[in-house]
Amino acid sequence: MPVRRHHAALLGAVTAVAAAAAGLVGVTSSAANAASGCRVDYKVASQWEGGFVADIAITNLGDPLSNWTLGWSFGAGQTVSSGWGATFAQSGAGVTATNLSYNGSIGTGGSTSIGFQGTSGSSNPVPTAFTLNGVPCTGGVTGSPSGQPSPSRTPSPSPSPSPSPSPSQTPGGNATGLVGWATQNGGTTGGGNAGTVTVSSASALTSAIQGTTASVVRVSGTISCSGMLRVGSNKTIVGASGATIVGCGLNVSEARNVIIRNLIFRDWNDDAINVQYSTNVWIDHNTLSHGYDGAIDVKRASDFVTVSWNRLFNHDKTMLLGHSDDNGAEDRGHLRVTYHHNWFDGTTQRHPRVRFGNPVHVFNNYYNRNSGYGVASTEGAGVLVEGNYFENVQDPYHRGEGSSAPGNLVARNNYLVGSGSGDAGGSVASIPYSYSLDTPSSVKSVVTAGAGAR
């Protein structure tokens, strides 16, 4: 079995022209005609009643910049509620986005990306003109093209699958209910019906999530912090609309029965979410970008975990399952995790990178432009890669990674568009829970419409 070597990291990679994403609700506008000093490409990444997420790619076509401010106006009363990659300000219809310390320098021909979550009314027309440091920009404003032909399918290899339930083909998925490993071992309810405490500061959040008393912790606004905040058992940590944690992460350590939902994480200086020596954890509907180390890492004999409906972008090391080749004595028989309906939007690697866990279930995720690889199975792990949508991913899945020995990987019913064929082999233990599988060709539209914080 081949062993794949570590792929070079491509941190913060941004394409110069944002591709239109299928399944979006936005509309398309032609490029503004203006002086050739910059180019801006605006994409409505997801949209729902009353809100939306937009990504913006900025390309400098003029002299090198040491700092910048992007400006535009909304045409239908939209507002910016939270953002990433810039400091946002709004007065009436006018919006400005000013660089942060790490992305102020853009050379000639260079680019950077920012984004925001906003509110909208019955219509959400895209902006038609932008300025960068006062210079009008050219470029495309992209939304959801109509009548886009369905891409041809390239079937994935079909090694003999391990015994597993035959899921019903139910388009549309389940964007709210718990599915997967976190339903086992007594299930995962977090704080359940316990009283809710609302927090808006790092100190209040740190205090509220400690201990083992059942509680529901509602995060409001933007909380700036550093390091890792330890999460105790029997907790639901849920974000209000636009709730953001900047600079730090949550450490679920020696805990049981934890739910983390509807939060925006960015610029963390360790991990965004770390799970270790913990069981029955559900990580659902979060948006994560531009951090230092892992976005969602599960390790050290943790078990019965579901990671679902998250959106990840502008990041390198995404999801690690098992931290070391030398930790098999502790990890074997554990590290059972379900990953479903996640949107890996241009992230580089580890979607997930698996050691020891068997079976690990990776189904109905959308992979797009992942420059390193999609899924890696190592150190005797067993990974079922099922019903996923891979688009422009040259290495969708393989066995072995870096110095780690190969694991087992069964791939079936995946939908491959402009992608490599993948490397599969071996057998995987049976999946013990019931689940519904979306039609693989519909996964892109299902996931882009539903993943991420609201």
Catalytic residue annotation:
350
Q: Which of 313, 365, 370 is nearest to 338 (CA)?
A: 365
Amino acid at site 231? V
Distance (Å, rounded) from C-alpha 342 to C-alpha 252? 20
- Give, as one character, the DSSP assignment of residue 349: B
Those residues with Cβ within 8 angstroms of residue 109's Cβ, 6 or more apart along the chain or in another chain: 59, 60, 61
Those residues with Cβ within 8 angstroms of residue 293's Cβ, 6 or more apart along the chain or in another chain: 268, 270, 271, 317
Q: Give CA angle at 14 (222, 115), nearest 5°.
A: 25
- Give, as one character, the DSSP assignment of residue 172: T
Q: Give Cα separations from 181 to 45, 339, 447 (angstroms).
A: 29, 9, 20
Residue with tokens 């944002």: 18
Distance (Å, rounded) from C-alpha 382 to C-alpha 279? 19
What is the bridge-based pairing of β-strands 397-399 and 375-378?
parallel
Amino acid at site 316? D
Q: Which of 403, 389, 379 is nearest to 351 (CA)?
A: 389
Q: Which of 396, 411, 451, 433 is nearest to 173 (CA)?
A: 451
Distance (Å, rounded) from C-alpha 343 to C-alpha 364? 10
Q: Which of 267, 225, 220 is nearest to 239 (CA)?
A: 220
What is the bridge-based pairing of β-strands 311-313 and 353-355?
unpaired
Dig out the tokens for 386 from the structure.
């099922």
3-state secondary structure of 60: strand
